[in-house]
Copies of this chain bind each other. A is one copy, B any other.
Amino acid sequence: MLTYTTGEGNYKDWILGEDEFCLRHQGKGESIFCLANGYMGIRSAHEEPYPFQTRGLFVSGCFNSSNNETVELPNGADTCEMLITLDGELFSMTTGKVTGYSRKLNLYTGELIRKLRWVSPKGRGYELRFCRTVSRSNVHAYGLKAEICPLDKAADIEIVSGINARMTNSGVQHFNDGTKKVLDRQYLYLDQTTTQSNLTLYHCCGSKITGGTPGERSFGMQRRKILETVRFQAEKGGKGCYEKLAVLYTSRDLAEQDEEQGKSLVLEHLENLVEKGYDGLYEESAKAYAAYWKEHDVRVKTEYPGIQLALRFAQYHLLAMIPPDSRSSIAAKGLTGEGYKGHVFWDTEVFILPYYLFNSPAKAKQLLEYRMNRMERARRNAGKKGYCGLMFPWESAESGREETPLFASMDILTGKAAQVWAGIKEHHITADIAYAAWMYELATGDSTFLENGGELLIIGSALFWRSRSIYAKDRSRYEIHDIIGPDEYTEHVDNNAYSNYMAHYVTRQAIHLLRDGDGKTAVRAEEYFQETGILEKLEDFADKLYLPQPLDNPEGVLPQDDTFMSKKILDISGYRNDNIKQTILKDYSREQVNNMQVLKQSDVIMLMELLPDLFSRKIKMANWEYYEPKTIHDSSLSRAIYSVVASDCGEPKKAFASFLHAIAIDMGQNPYSSDEGIHAASMGGIWLAVVRGFAGLRIQKDTLYLAPCLPKEIEEIKFHAVYRGKKMEICVSHRNIYIESRDSSEIPVKIMGQVYKLTHNLDIKY
């Protein structure tokens, strides 16, 4: 079982743990306890080998396509495996007797610690403690420590560990065999180069015995493996301690160096790290974590169990997934697993970017730069499909081309693969990215951003939408046909509410940019897009783009698309709480689901989350009530958004109920939820539900806006935010909003409809 309350004292609500080892369900812990620093992620597979283990090491943005399969983040060599032999008996939690097992991820320090007591099959007792850190202070470094305390008599310990490049992505090998050797007669070195993208991973590791009496050390090689065997002794009641330090670089990091320089840099780093030892590595990393939490920890006063921890869990993973620079962006599973092949979806801009926008705007900008660096490709994508402007890929990797596989898993009976329409028809990503760029602009006022491509991105998106629409002469309006909205259970629809409204919004912002610019913007845009009269064209498009309106019956409901309301309604209650997702597809074909009012997630509610000012509370609530019972929530993006919109509507009970579902997505007890990695967007969603939802923080036009709607279970929420460069700490309780800032600039803050000026503090009762 996962444990949520083992953190004590200073670590109260900082520790996510588990109190038993379950052979079958290792994937869950491997993902949710994953250690990552944005540069690399290492799945928390146990040191000793077990069946059902999925070891994984992923480097952000290091993609490869093996034998023309869909490009993916390859699983790099493993260094974490240790074969531990204690007095001649191989340590395994499946043999002998294990008591006192616990594994704890300390979110405050980023350290994973496992403890247990093992009585071997022959009856000897040992206490074992394993710790592991992937450094937050230096992204190339990580380390492990194994401490063994013999309980009955002095013990002979043998550890075999090394670098194992036999790892695959579910059987797909992405690397050619490389060089392996022992450096300076003590460090293990192995490099591996991807088969197609020609990226090299340089692995180097060393070890030392820092407890007990060191014995002999020897080295060995096997195919795609280099190993050391270390023997040492520990006294009864004493501690035998093996530390393994490792560094990982890629050829991208060493592009400036020639090969020899690069390798010495790697070795030097390792030497330095081994000298520091595990504790030194840990301390530096923990310090960096502490600094992060000091600036970003969202504190929730509540008696309700697990909420504070869930927020920190989400923030931990939001930090773990953010790359060091704009060469890469955030994968749908972060760096925690093979799921979705490490591709970048709208999840990043819509669910994760807001967190960074209010916490580290530079990181939000970095995420947008990843897209802007691929704008040229987006222009080509559009051109190839016969559209104008920019067309961003539904799934993005290195090049910025469309990476969505054309075919999904095969039909089990026919062996025919089902076509995946998302890459072909799910176009809202292009609006989502432009929306995020505009939000960035609003929140930061960073004018260079617009000039350096931001305005082209927004205008390009608008141009795309214009070309993506058709002009329906009979109705004298632009319509968008044959599209897929966020709700992927409804494909090939016309005038999807989400897509039309988002296209419209983005076009309005583009017009704004074109009008308000000193004319240079229009020149730049016309030049870049090789198109004249852009402003006029967009004005015409915005004026005439069809925006579906709320119905009279059912009152206030915004139809998800032209045909949705005429579809059959199905009782889906049985599918809503399954441990396994998408079970409806076992009973109904995709075609059948497509023809019912069955939602994976809601387009309309999503729209109301992003553009809340377009709709009255009443309309929003009508849609919430209409769509929620029809939503299976088979997407991890669903619950948090329902929560935010319920908060917006002043429905804290509903908001809180949805929120509880949202925090359970990865952190709940469902043992299957996270096998292939955590749900990156859901981490952003948790933060959104609390800060955007309960605390009601958002941007309304040019103003920071606060309209809290605290559920009764939450007494107070205290969080950091940056707006227009101004750092502040905001504390929201049921009757009070307190804002504090050390910056002396003045900004307007709109609270519950009324505008205040904030310099150093604001204390508003409501």
**A residues within 8 Å of B by Cβ?**
23-24, 48-52, 66-67, 69, 90, 92, 94-95, 165-168, 170-173, 176-177, 179-182, 185, 189, 195, 219-226, 409-415
- A-B pairs, 5 with minimum CB distance: A166-B171, A181-B415, A49-B51, A94-B94, A173-B173
Contacts of A67 in B (CB 8 A): 176, 195
Q: Are B221 and A409 in contact (CB under 8 A)?
A: yes
Contacts of A195 in B (CB 8 A): 67
Q: How far is the CB of A349 from chain B (nearest CB, A)?
A: 28
Q: Are B412 and A182 in contact (CB under 8 A)?
A: yes
Knowing A24-B90, A94-B92, the reply to whether A170 touches B223 (Cβ < 8 A) is yes
Q: Are B222 and A180 in contact (CB under 8 A)?
A: no
Give the dominant DSSP class at A's interface.
loop
Contacts of A189 in B (CB 8 A): 415
Q: How far is the CB of A30 from chain B (nearest CB, A)?
A: 15
Q: Are A415 and B51 in contact (CB under 8 A)?
A: no
Knowing A23-B92, A52-B49, A176-B67, the reply to whether A412 touches B221 (Cβ < 8 A) is yes
Q: Which residue of B is nearest A220, CB measured?
A: B412
Knowing A90-B23, A180-B415, the reply to whether A223 touches B410 (Cβ < 8 A) is no
State in angstroms the CA–CA spacing of A396 and B722 once bound together.
Answer: 69
Q: Which residue of B is nearest A195, CB measured?
A: B67
Knowing A23-B92, A67-B195, A181-B411, the reply to whether A171 touches B170 (Cβ < 8 A) is no
Q: List 5 A-B contacts (CB under 8 A).
A: A94-B94, A170-B223, A170-B224, A172-B223, A181-B410
Contacts of A173 in B (CB 8 A): 66, 168, 171-173
Q: Are B170 and A69 in contact (CB under 8 A)?
A: no
8 Å CB contact of A224 from B167, B171, B224: B171
Contacts of A222 in B (CB 8 A): 170
Contacts of A181 in B (CB 8 A): 410-415
State in angstroms the CA–CA spacing of A414 and B220 once bound together.
Answer: 13
State in angstroms the CA–CA spacing of A223 and B189 once bound together.
Answer: 31
Q: Are A171 and B167 in contact (CB under 8 A)?
A: yes
Q: How far is the CB of A340 from chain B (nearest CB, A)?
A: 12
Q: How far is the CB of A260 from chain B (nearest CB, A)?
A: 13
State in angstroms the CA–CA spacing of A90 and B66 once bound together.
Answer: 34
Contacts of A177 in B (CB 8 A): 69, 172
Q: Are A171 and B168 in contact (CB under 8 A)?
A: yes
Q: Which residue of B is nearest A413, CB measured?
A: B182
Q: Are B171 and A165 in contact (CB under 8 A)?
A: yes
Q: Which residue of B is nearest A22, CB measured?
A: B90
State in angstroms the CA–CA spacing of A343 and B647 once bound together.
Answer: 69
Contacts of A69 in B (CB 8 A): 176-177
Q: How far is the CB of A424 from chain B (nearest CB, A)?
A: 21
State in angstroms the CA–CA spacing of A351 and B337 once bound together.
Answer: 50
Q: How far is the CB of A449 from chain B (nearest CB, A)?
A: 40
Taking A94-B94, A167-B171 as known contacts, 15 extra A-B pairs with beta carbons closer than 8 A to each other, sorted by chain A number, are A23-B90, A24-B90, A49-B51, A66-B173, A69-B176, A94-B95, A166-B168, A168-B171, A170-B224, A173-B173, A182-B412, A185-B413, A189-B415, A219-B412, A221-B409
Q: How far is the CB of A312 from chain B (nearest CB, A)?
A: 33
Contacts of A166 in B (CB 8 A): 168, 170-171
Q: How far is the CB of A171 from chain B (nearest CB, A)?
A: 3
Contacts of A414 in B (CB 8 A): 181
